[in-house]
Structure 1
Amino acid sequence: MLRPLLLVHLFFYLHLRPSSAEAGIPSSSTVNATDYIRKSCHTTQYPDLCYTSLVSYADSVQQNPARLARVAIGVSLSTANRLAIYVRNLTSRGDYGPDPRAAAALHDCYSVFGDAVDQMRGSLNQMRRLKAAGEELAFEMSNVQTWMSAALTNEETCTDGFEDVADGPMKMDVCDRVVKVKEVTSNALCLVNSFIADSKVTIP
């Protein structure tokens, strides 16, 4: 009886045990992709934020610099869009007190963040349509760089608009949120630049 029982146990062990993924054990490709993201993020200005914001996309990124740049732009776009919605809600509720400068700063912030969202959306669409190589790729990547740089400038314009606003909870809250978006956008632009360098693309 002992041998049949051992065979039954062996059958259940081989056929019913969880796979590596089911058991929560990362595959070797995921580990390699995670390491790739960590190393790539070392080139950014905010490497810890870069890694934590992108590591969950390791399986789709693998070790592809174009995919990494595209995902980074997508994360930046999503973050900026959430802030634009947040600022819009503040303005619609009138949550800025009696100071007209605060109201103006909020409206301007919403406007420039709308521009930043459009610019990052254009960058993301361009990254999805990249050609293999040559002058056309250089032109496309030049567009991406220009739009991402413009988006970062628009985000900085938002905080600049609060310089003449009296300190208070609303100003601190919005400016702190904008700083986080700027950091994510800065990282995305850096990864775009790294992709260009890795691809040996000469921007005209």
Structure 2
Amino acid sequence: MLRPLLLVHLFSTTLFFHLHLLPSSAEAGAANSTVNATDYIRTSCHTTQYPDLCYTSLVSYADSVQENPARLARVAIGVSLSRANRLAVYVRNLTIRGEYGPDPRAGAALHDCFSLFCDAVDQMRGSLDQMRRLKGEGEELAFEMSNVQTWMSAALTNEETCTDGFEDVADGPMKTDVCVRVVKVKKVTSNALALVNSFVANSKVMSP
């Protein structure tokens, strides 16, 4: 992975998300009302493992999502990417400051966690780019979405592996803090993957 380049764009992803992820105002203006879009997001979130978190993290994008499952999946990936970015920066700062005590296993777990989150960020960026460039139908769309599913699943696995790395680390404030933060990001990523899978399933149903 291109770590130096990744660290440069860790701080710019939120801006990228707001400038490039969402549809144009003209496109959004042709869709249904915000009330219907809000209800759509709430209903769609019922397919996720953490529906309340799903709704609260995505409802502010209702005007842009409207009732479009592809947009909803795209926004969910963007939200997950933004949060993973912030956590990667947070963990990186911990490693730089050496705030993990004398236990060498703690330092190793932190470095591994940062590396894993860098990989997860790369994978989610690939997913987001693919979602923004969807052009196919039928088998071509299935291939494009299989890439998104693979990358999002891999990102979630990397996040889970981060917490696994702390199992042999002695309990303490740093371990608790990092693991709690990672679990929050994992939940958002899990929800994003569920919405991607839901979009894929609905696309297959609608295919001739």
Contact 2:136 2:144 in 1 (8 A): no
Q: CA deviation at 1:39?
A: 0.2
Tell me, which stretches of 5 or more residues in structure 1 are unaligned? 1-27
Take 1:136 and 1:44, find their aligned partners in 2: how far apart are those partners? 26
Distance 1:38 1:132 in 2: 28
1:137–1:201 Cα contact (<8 Å) kept: no
Alignment of 1:51-200 (within 5 A): 51-200=55-204
Distance in structure 2 (CA, Å) of the matches to 1:175 and 1:143: 28
Give the superposition deviation at 1:132: 4.0
* Amino acid across the alignment from 2:170: A
1:3 maps to which residue? none
Unaligned runs of 5+ in 2: 1-31
1:173-199 Cα deviation digits (max 9, x unpaired): 000000000000000000000001111
**Cα RMSD for the two superposed structures:** 1.2
* TM-score normalised by structure 2 residue count: 0.83
Distance 2:109 2:66 in 1: 41
Q: 1: distance between equivalents of 2:136 and 2:128? A: 16
Using the TM superposition, give the Cα deviation of residue 201 of structure 1 relative to its aligned residue in structure 2, in angstroms.
6.9
Q: Secondary structure at the match of 1:164?
A: coil
Q: Please tell me the residue identity of whatever aligns with 1:127.
A: M
The residue type equivalent to 1:53 in the other structure is S
Distance 2:159 2:205 in 1: 27
Larger Rg: 1
* Partner AA of 1:157 in structure 2: T
Among 46, 50, 63, the residue aligned to 1:42: 46
Q: Tell me the distance in 2 between the aligned counterparts of 1:52 and 1:58.
A: 11
- Count of aligned positions: 175
Q: Is the 8 A contact 1:138 1:201 kept in 2?
A: no
Question: SS state of the match for residue 199, structure 1?
Answer: helix
Q: What is the percent sequence identity of the aligned residues?
A: 88
Using the size of structure 1 for normalisation, the TM-score is 0.84
CA distance, structure 2, for counterparts of residue 201 and residue 174 of structure 1 = 41
Deviating runs (4+, > 2 A) in structure 1?
none
Alpha-carbon shift at residue 135 of structure 1 (Å): 1.5
Deviation (angstroms), 1:47: 0.2
